[in-house]
Amino acid sequence: MKKETEIGILEFIEGKYGSDFLGKACIQLFSHNYEIRVRFDVSGKGPESLTDEMVKAAKACLEMFTGSTDELEMKIKEYYDRSVVPIIEDRNEYIEIDSIAQLAQMMIPKELYVTSFSAGLYFEYDWDDEKGFGIRLDRKGNIIKMGTGGVVY
């Protein structure tokens, strides 16, 4: 089943772990363009549970990547310096990052995950390939929390 929305065509998929609507979107971050997956969690509720509010929340989150992303990039860099550096210094794996450009070489945005109450952007990154990095956003695209990939889901 496919559904036309404000952010493009979404396809309903029933999988091993639940059901989702999947689509794609392009974002700009770190002066690069990325195509990411957009996933709407409708597990256990069926295709009729994709609401206009969920699509609007995804649209608001995607809109934060259409203009300047300098503030978001600085927040990600601050998170790295504050939360990641102390952990990886202990493992002698510290990579000093002096610029956003260096950070961009280590992080790749992969998925916008949308539920009925919030959204999150998931990244793969070089400093911990098991956990990923995530940014939890409210329905208006404001940052609620940053952390490992788990904050997204």
Q: What is the pLDDT of residues 95-144, one digit of tens each?
A: 677 788 888 888 899 999 998 778 899 999 876 666 788 999 887 778 89
- Residues, the chain, total? 153
Which long-range contacts link 54-59 to residues 24+ away (Cβ below 8 Å)?
54/114, 54/115, 54/116, 55/5, 55/6, 55/7, 56/6, 56/139, 57/114, 57/118, 57/119, 57/139, 57/140, 58/7, 58/25, 58/112, 58/114, 58/119, 59/6, 59/7
Q: What is the pTM of this model?
A: 0.84
Give the residue extent of every domain in the chain: 66-153
User: In the predicted model, what is the mean pLDDT of residues 44-51?
Assistant: 81
